[in-house]
Structure 1
Amino acid sequence: MRLIKTEDAEGHVLCHDITQIIPGKFKGRAFKKGHIVKKEDIPVLKSLGKNHLYIWEMKENMVHENEAAEFIRDIVMGNNLKSGEIKEGKIEFISECDGILKVNRESLLEFNMLGEMMMATLSNNVPVKAGERVAGTRIIPLIIEREKLNHAKEILKNRSIVQVIPYKKKKIGIVTSGNEVYNGIIKDRFGPVIEKKVSEYGCEVIGQKICPDDTEEIYNAIEMFLKQGADIVCCTGGMSVDPDDLTPAAIKRTNADIITYGAPVLPGAMFMLAYKENKTIMGIPGCAMYNRITVFDMIFSRTVAGEKLSLRDIAEYGDGGFCRGCDECRYPNCGFGK
């Protein structure tokens, strides 16, 4: 830093806060550290007794924190995001739609290892709402070398670090199995639960079929909904390993590609995921009927965002896949599924 005359300070960056005192009225910061002096600031500064100022020497290869934050914003921010106001080299990113937040974790790590700049995000694959803040970045020093910014751009290679994938409206078929429900001994509770959950994503339930514990009838119901144009068939009931739990066998009979039968998530271990061409079939365990959030919620949200999950995607839920069972559920504002 160096000392210059105040009248020569236009365009320079202040190295420290400047306090203003008006007896009996005001005492506080008139100009913040990092402020770029404007022409109209000069008489105000002189009225505060500042005939000389300490300023940063803005060499040709140096960039002010706010300009640097704009540069970083343009290389890390992906689709369906907007940026907030830049303050002191900090900028936040806000979702423009309901959807799934996607974080390129490898790129985020590379970026944060560069030094003099940082970025923090919500967890990868977390559901977000329109207007929700999902990430932020900040330049650490007041000024930063342009070469450092260009290196960050080179490292990322046009790969945004964060983006939001919007939900797409899907048609849902529900297949419920169980002799006790089919024969009217007990009332079906699965259908209303699934219908409520999928409606929160703007999806349409095209029908529900209640079947006895019979592999053939469950299979026929699944195929019926697929032919009727269902994008996702949710199969409820009969997902355990008891002899009369026949839903997994019925799903396999459709010749769908079985991704997994079982998931490292509690509640939700007995979950099944399968794909038949561009259609999705889910075997939903009984816990979805009485637990507010289960593996179904995590997988369904990504499915309606257009993802086709692999076995690895499912296996990765083991880290964070244990629900604490809080008295007041705060999902997705918790560690479950992260």
Structure 2
Amino acid sequence: MKKQSNPQPSPFKTVHVQDACGMTLAHDMTEIIPDKSKGPAFKRGDRVQAADICRLMRMGKNNLYVLDLDETQVHEDEAVFELASALAGPGVEFSGTPSEGKLQLYAAYPGLFRVNVAALTEFNMLDDVMCASIHTNIAVNKGDSLAATRAIPLVIDRAKLDQATALAKSAYPIFSVSMFNPLKIRLAIIGNEVYDGLIQDRFQAIVEEKTARLGAQILEVNILPDDRKRISAQIRDYMDKETDLIITTGGMSVDPDDVTRESIEAVGFDEVHYSAAVLPGAMFLLGYTPKITIMGLPACGLYHRTTIFDLMLPRIMAGERPGKRELASLCHGGLCRNCPICRFPDCAFGKSA
């Protein structure tokens, strides 16, 4: 015969109102003043004070449901502060007052929001706690909502709460916001058609708008023909100056005149990755020296409002150095649906599980 476990003591208790001083209310208590007001005079989690007794009796409350907690039990409003504190890393803050037992986590400043997805999943595998967030690697502004957490029951066992906070602390930070660096950026616009004046360049305005949005500035712009030596020489010139990020536009496809990739490789970057599992943006190039990053933008940036550039620029500006695996991992969510009205970043583009 299966041995029955001892039931946990109920945290709810009925007491006479005159005996409730110091106890915690188990639910909201509504007060109605005819022709004047109706609302919660006392909220769930409030501790009954001596001065409250007369008011409760005037409200017709002779008996109350109160929380009779011992050291092994924690009310949800207290528990959620412990959960939020354990989850929040640099650049993440949370509101001071729980709403329905829940706390919102916010961005303390503009930057790149990062989530330790594996750790967050493990956190949600635990009993009686939860936390939901927006996607990782999202550019956020100060005050943006990032996540929300709560304890599931009104009263959570101290052991379960400690287990959840310990997991979050061991994976610290599960949530963080990395500030964008004010990078020194130089731009090379490449293409015979632009260099010869046959068409007007539109790439400069696009790049300037997207970098400025994240707090960066283009320091220098040069227009070059599809000439390997001239392109390589210009890139070397940029590298000899105070430059954090070099951006090239055009010349990244398979046409005979497209020599930008070869010109970049000839300069001698330590690491060069060509192609990404993203559409639009498959023929994207990303390379590094110890101090400089180079991004080669394909021509799709002229025809699509949102491309691989919008996914990678915030990460570069936050100090990341994505490699081949990161570019490959964009495959899940890397297909832009070319919606008639673009809602990026409030869409699935660039967001993987």
Contact in 1 for aligned 2:45/2:77 (Cα 8 Å): no
Residue 64 of structure 2 aligns to a residue whose secondary structure is strand
Would the alpha carbon gap of residues 198 and 291 (structure 1) be closer, same or farther in structure 2, given more than 3 Å must change?
Answer: same
Shift of 1:28: 4.3
Contact in 1 for aligned 2:94/2:104 (Cα 8 Å): yes
Amino acid at match of 2:112: I
Distance 1:139 1:216 in 2: 63
Distance 2:288 2:78 in 1: 47
Shift of 1:132: 0.8
Residue 80 of structure 2 aligns to a residue whose secondary structure is helix
Shift of 1:222: 0.9
Contact in 2 for aligned 1:271/1:295 (Cα 8 Å): yes
Unaligned runs of 5+ in 1: none
Distance 1:208 1:38 in 2: 69
Residue 30 of structure 2 aligns to a residue whose secondary structure is strand
- From 36, 52, 77, the counterpart of 2:63: 52
Shift of 1:158: 5.5
Matched, 1:71 2:85: no
1:100 equivalent in structure 2: 112
- From 323, 330, 337, the counterpart of 1:317: 330
Distance 2:234 2:178 in 1: 31
Deviations 1:137-161 (A, max 9, x none): 1111111111112111322315121
Contact in 2 for aligned 1:171/1:231 (Cα 8 Å): yes
2:13 equivalent in structure 1: 2
In the TM superposition, 1:179-194 aligns within 5 A as 179-194=192-207
Would the alpha carbon gap of residues 174 and 31 (structure 1) be closer, same or farther in structure 2, given more than 3 Å must change?
Answer: same
Matched, 1:225 2:238: yes
Amino acid at match of 1:268: G
Distance 2:132 2:207 in 1: 34
Would the alpha carbon gap of residues 150 and 299 (structure 1) be closer, same or farther in structure 2, given more than 3 Å must change?
Answer: same
Shift of 1:319: 0.7
How many aligned positions are there? Answer: 338
Shift of 1:259: 4.1
1:216 equivalent in structure 2: 229
- From 259, 266, 274, the counterpart of 1:253: 266
Distance 2:141 2:103 in 1: 19
Amino acid at match of 2:102: K
Shift of 1:178: 1.1
Unaligned runs of 5+ in 2: 1-11
Residue 178 of structure 2 aligns to a residue whose secondary structure is strand
Contact in 2 for aligned 1:267/1:323 (Cα 8 Å): yes
Would the alpha carbon gap of residues 250 and 10 (structure 1) be closer, same or farther in structure 2, given more than 3 Å must change?
Answer: farther
Amino acid at match of 2:322: L
